Structure 1
Amino acid sequence: MNKTTKVMLVEDHPEYRDVIALALNDQPDIHLIGQVGSSERALQILRNRSNEDVPDLILLDLNLPGMSGLEALPLLRSCCPAAKFIVLTQSDNESDVLCAAQQGATGYLLKSSTVNQIIEAIRTVAEGGALLGSGVAKYILGKLQSRLVSIELHDALSQRELEILTLLGEGKLKKEIASQLDISIATVSTYIRRIYEKLHVQNAPAAITQAYRAGILPHEPQADSPDKRRDDH
């Protein structure tokens, strides 16, 4: 039989906590040593536990009353530096996933996961693996693919093209760009044409929108800004 994994569950919804606890208690290789409804209570218990009662793995909800799971993660890790963490939450927000990973979580499951999926996740992480639930994995993969596209687009544009695209995003016209960069209007037109080709767009508003969505330009333009209403380029 595999080594028994000691688990603590930090979850504020009693009914959901009971469902998880019931499932875990049926597993011969998993020992639920504690279940609490808040980060504060989990920290209080862990700070007063003996070494024999320290969990190997903590199932942690993010949206907790008081201190959130994300806020508690580094504190819990300081109490149990050898413990593994699986975030169990309703949130598939990219920033939550990335922040949880940065804080030391090695698993991330949505609460829509079945109890069998949660049990298998515990075994996977306890054995040294890392895990993203299928819903989260698809979400993050899509985000990563978008970022790769952004990187490719950014790398495809020359420094001068990026400079001109930024000025387009500020609503400047060709003659204004030419004057600011001390180049001819014809040269600006050539650069803008190359920008359109690389971004696969037909006009300035489309180029600007594509650049914001790809993260090439840092801030979303206002809906009524000049570059959204006209294409003088």
Structure 2
Amino acid sequence: MSVNILLADDHLMVREGLKQVLELDHDIDVISEASDGYECLNLINKTHPDVVLLDINMPNLDGLQVLSIMKQQKMKSKVIMLTIHKDVDYLIEALDAGCDGYVLKDSDSETLKKAIFDVYNGETFIEPSLTVLLNSSLAERDVMKDKLSELTKREVEVLKLIASGMFNKEIASTLCISERTVKNHVSNIFKKIEVSDRTQAAVFAIKNNLVDIK
């Protein structure tokens, strides 16, 4: 029985090349192709592919938005993100969104086919070259979460205001506390999250999604 594939990429030549490579394997059948996010969702509903090869960068809806909608609507197709992005942050975002696989566009055909069959059989496939970076990044994220959990509710409030660019006097006025108390909170925050200045504290807050990046 063939694995039915939907190719979603806004570049026609990429889709044609992928289709030719994949269909050399008689156990893979490309049943539909989409050039943007909306078309991809419509074709998933119509054709019910086993696996969607989904480009992250697409017009109208990008790949991560498509994946989010698929999860919301409980679509059963497996999803492999197919991307040029080697940044591990994209990989983590895709995994958090619920993708089943993550493959780089410059991977060889055997890697892509392995990803398809692994995902079809219920496994998660991650580009081998990114697994070490992923493990390192996840370990760093766990450490940051542990540090964040040590902060009191008030210290988190102060950290957010530091990250927004406020000085101690402004923080004191905003929270209706003394500037001396703010200084104590800032000192405790620096010790707990192991930073030495306000810029490092702001970076820590951003990485932990305590503030929005504008």
Corresponding position of 1:34: 32
- The CA distance in 2 between the partners of 1:190 and 1:77, in whole Å, is 45
Corresponding position of 1:8: 6
Shift of 1:112: 2.5
Deviates more, 1:131-140 or 1:72-81: 72-81
Considering only CA atoms, is the larger Rg found in Structure 1 or Structure 2? Answer: 1
Residue 161 to residue 85, structure 1, CA distance change in 2 (3 Å): closer
Partner SS, residue 168 of structure 2: coil
Shift of 1:159: 5.3
Instruction: Tell me the TM-score normalised to structure 1 length.
Output: 0.65
Corresponding position of 2:93: 98
Q: Which of the residues 159, 167, 170 maps onto 1:171?
A: 167
Counterpart contact for 1:85–1:105, Cα < 8 Å: yes
Counterpart contact for 2:34–2:43, Cα < 8 Å: no
Whichever residue aligns with residue 112 of structure 2, its letter is I
Residue 157 to residue 40, structure 1, CA distance change in 2 (3 Å): closer
Partner SS, residue 214 of structure 1: helix
Corresponding position of 1:155: 149
Counterpart contact for 2:168–2:182, Cα < 8 Å: no
- The CA distance in 1 between the partners of 2:60 and 2:212, in whole Å, is 33
Q: Which of the residues 58, 61, 64 maps onto 2:55?
A: 61
Corresponding position of 2:201: 211
Corresponding position of 2:65: 71
Instruction: Tell me the TM-score normalised to structure 2 length.
Output: 0.70
Corresponding position of 1:132: 126
Structure 1 unpaired stretches of 5+ = 221-233
The one-character-per-residue Cα deviations of 1:4-50 (angstroms, maximum 9, x if unpaired) are: 2111212222332233222211213222223343344444545554x
- The CA distance in 1 between the partners of 2:85 and 2:9, in whole Å, is 14
Counterpart contact for 1:8–1:33, Cα < 8 Å: yes
Structure 2 unpaired stretches of 5+ = none
Corresponding position of 2:113: 119
**Over the residues paired in the alignment, what is the CA RMSD in angstroms?**
4.0
